[in-house]
Amino acid sequence: MEENKELEQKKEHGFKSGVLTGVLGTAAVVLAAGAVLFAHGNLKVSETAGTSQTAQTVLDDGTLSKLDELMGQINLNYYEDVDASDLQEGLYSGLLEGLNDPYSAYYTEEEYKDLMEQTQGNFYGIGAGLSQDKESMQVTITKVYEDTPAEKAGLKAGDVIVKVDDIDATSMEVSDLVQHIRGEEGTTVHLEIYRPGESDDLEYDIERAKVNYETVTGQLLDGGIGYIYVSEFGEDTANQFEKTIADLESQGMKAMIVDLRNNGGGMITAVTQMLDDILPEGLLVYTEDKYGNRQEFKSSDDTKLEYPMAVLVNGYSASASEIFAGAIRDYDYGTLIGTTTYGKGVVQKIIPLPDGDAVKLTIAKYYTPKGENIQGTGIDPDIELEYEYTGDPDADFDIYSDNQVAKAIEVLEGELD
């Protein structure tokens, strides 16, 4: 039973062995399963006169008195000496945690520096994709890339990350956990792994290295149906998408499947460029902050793809994936197949602070072209279909035995007749 479960985890929802949600390799953006950072440098946030008053409300006399009391207890009873700067950083982190928003966080100067290096592609990882359960916060490896440190170490799709060095993997959002797995080339990260079927957790010391990977792959299926698998929306994803479409067109593509299952999202510029290639001129998505400031992303011209289209989604299709699915749905441009998407309809921005630290805050909601915000609800598919692999479990993965792909083929063949 455990072997069959593990096989399903390996083969579930995707091209070859799985679908990526948070890549631990070289990338241009911060990516996460269900927690994806959008860059909105032009969004204007109104200043309010009540900022200092709010600070005074939080740090009132009672709060300051309690802090003094807590420090007294620490100094008197804690078994080791403490660093005041560590406690101060704990206060800052705790303030953000008080928002009860899993997407907002405080970064120390060192953490912010590491984050910026990583978002600009100047970092190294192990070559694995991660997914996080939004309820339990469990982090699972969904894909291990070929010829990477993760593969060489023996990690497998379906492995559950218990700890990263001394950090409990369920203690933070996966986008922040990824920052601890990435690091300088040649350095080592220690992972504690739970693997179904193993009685004890497994321990791995993995040396970080530069990892190159594709975020878009494709193949032509029978009947001229193109299958395009998008693992994330990274800096080069839109260009890879365009090249993949051109290649499939040269092979005679007549209809198209876009697979976004387990795609945790990524850059809004990537997904809107792809939608611009597909949809006619018009609104693709817009954001709105608490002051009513609105930013719109539009298709720039009336060029569009004329192919019948199906889009595959599931509960781990998040953020930018939901922007894609929502626009296709609102324009009635394709059939959504699978299960309800993750439900992340908010936008984050990283704001540097004068002392070198930084804060990541949820600053706005985003809306589909018809004005729906899907935060906490997700997008329901047109055809609800739970995943099932119908092929030989002992044979190589067969895309035609993926029942959701098979349903998409059936739908598209009907439209082509």
260 with 375, same domain: the answer is yes
In a domain, 156, yes or no: yes
In a domain, 58, yes or no: no
Output the CA torsion 361→119→37→24 (10° steps): -120
220 with 203, same domain: the answer is no
In a domain, 342, yes or no: yes
Question: Of 186, 207, 228, which closes a domain?
Answer: 207
Nearest-angstrom CA–CA distance, 263 and 228: 13
338 with 248, same domain: the answer is yes
| pLDDT of 20 strictly over 50 | no
Q: Mean pLDDT highest for which of 37-41, 189-193, 299-303?
A: 189-193
Mean of all residue pLDDT scores within the chain: 84
| Helix, strand, or coil (residue 251) | coil
Q: Is 342 exposed, middle or buried (0-12, 13-18, 19+ CB in 10 A)?
A: buried
Nearest-angstrom CA–CA distance, 342 and 352: 29
351 with 324, same domain: the answer is yes
Q: What is the CATH number of the domain that holds 26?
A: 2.30.42.10
Q: What's the domain range around 191? A: 14-35+114-207
In a domain, 44, yes or no: no
312 with 335, same domain: the answer is yes
Alpha helices in 82-173 (DSSP H): 84-97, 109-119, 149-153
Nearest-angstrom CA–CA distance, 399 and 323: 26
Count of structural domains within the chain = 2
Enumerate the active-site residues. 319, 330, 344
Q: What is the mean pLDDT of residues 336-350?
A: 94
**185: CB partners within 8 A, 6+ apart:** 124, 208, 209, 210
Q: Give 109-142 pLDDT, tens digit per residue.
A: 988 887 776 555 556 889 888 888 878 999 999 8
245 with 360, same domain: the answer is yes
Q: Give 245-292 pLDDT, tens digit per residue.
A: 999 999 999 999 999 998 988 889 999 999 999 999 999 999 999 999
Q: Which amino acid is at 408?
A: A
Residue 53 pLDDT: 63
Q: What is the CATH number of the domain that holds 262?
A: 3.90.226.10
289 with 336, same domain: the answer is yes
226 with 200, same domain: the answer is no
In a domain, 48, yes or no: no
In a domain, 4, yes or no: no
Q: What is the mean pLDDT of residues 187-215?
A: 92
221 with 343, same domain: the answer is yes
Higher pLDDT, 186 or 4: 186
246 with 291, same domain: the answer is yes
Residue 52 pLDDT: 59
pTM check: above 0.85: no
Question: Of 184, 207, 230, which closes a domain?
Answer: 207
Closest CA to 316 of 165, 133, 146: 133
DSSP string, 259-285: E-TT---B-HHHHHHHHHHHS-SEEEE
297 with 405, same domain: the answer is yes
| Helix, strand, or coil (residue 162) | strand
**227: CB partners within 8 A, 6+ apart:** 15, 218, 219, 220, 221, 257, 259, 399, 405
Closest CA to 407 of 313, 331, 329: 313
Nearest-angstrom CA–CA distance, 123 and 237: 19
Q: Is 341 exposed, middle or buried (0-12, 13-18, 19+ CB in 10 A)?
A: buried
Max Cα–Cα distance, the chain, nearest Å: 80
Nearest-angstrom CA–CA distance, 307 and 254: 6
Q: Give 218-254 pLDDT, tens digit per residue.
A: 999 999 999 999 988 888 899 999 999 999 999 999 9
In a domain, 75, yes or no: no
Q: What is the mean pLDDT of residues 73-92?
A: 93
